[in-house]
Amino acid sequence: MEKFRRLRIKLSRIFGGILIAVVLLSSSAWENTRPIVGLILFLIGVIFVSIASLGRLWCSLYIGGYKSNTLITTGPYSLCRNPLYFFSFIGAMGMGFATGTIFFPFIMAAAFALYYPLVIKAEEHDLDDKYGKSFSNYLSTTPRFFPKIALFNEPDTYTVNPKIFRKDLIQAFGFIWTLGILKLIEELHNLEVLPTLFKFY
């Protein structure tokens, strides 16, 4: 599992580096044809990123300090088995839309669909080994990825590790900070500080 985790991190960094390079060298084709479309796409991105940031914080409240030694099945984890990945997917789509294009959300969705099912299956195998019957019951009643609202349940009280939550808070807001960076890149293209080698719809 550790070898798989290291490979996953390495692949994520390579993909992220390529994606950053393309973003830096490209701009939205809607700016020259229908600017309102680019603006609407950016606003969709803001909404998605906001949902993702709040969702990831919600997940971190439940798994902070417990992920390695307790099977969490309440709160967001009562809706689906991988809410953290679900909200990460929403955030990735949001960052894609924030470029003012349809191209980047498509790339994000395709990469996620190819990559994360493998990650989820590997983690589920480990959880099954670790928790046995408890995880099998959870597996049979709770969706893997897309939340099912009817299953929602939460405890009256829940103990949170503030140090871990503070760390997760900073990470969750990384999505929001990315919006500002994307807007800055757009302005640098408009000012011709950055070259525009590609235009995407």
The secondary structure of 133-185 as a DSSP string is HHHHHHHHHS-SSS--GGG----S-----HHHHHHHHHHHTHHHHHHHHHHHH
pTM of model > 0.85: yes
pLDDT-derived band at 65, boundaries 50, 70, 90: low
Confidence (pLDDT) at 85: 92
Percent residues over pLDDT 70 in the chain: 95
Question: pLDDT value at position 1?
Answer: 57
Q: Which residue has the tokens 């994000």?
A: 108
64: left (phi over 0), alpha (psi -120 to 50) or beta: beta
Return the pLDDT at 70.
Answer: 82
Q: Which tokens belong to 123?
A: 């983690």
Task: Output the pLDDT for position 86.
Answer: 95
Other CB atoms within a 10 A radius of the CB of residue 179 amount to: 17
Q: How confident is the model at residue 134 (pLDDT cuts 50, 70, 90)?
A: confident
Instruction: Tell me the pLDDT band of 5, cut-offs 50, 70 and 90.
Output: low
83, 117, 90, 12 alpha-carbon torsion, rounded to 10°: 110
What is the distance between the terminal CA atoms of the chain, rounded to a whole angstrom?
39
38-153+160-200: CATH number: 1.20.120
What pLDDT, in 10s, does the model give residues 167-186?
878 877 777 888 888 888 88
pLDDT band for 68, please (50, 70, 90 cuts). Answer: low
Weakest-pLDDT range from 12-16, 27-31, 43-47, 73-77: 12-16
pLDDT of 86-105, one tens digit each?
A: 999 999 999 999 999 999 99
Arithmetic mean of pLDDT, 65-85: 86
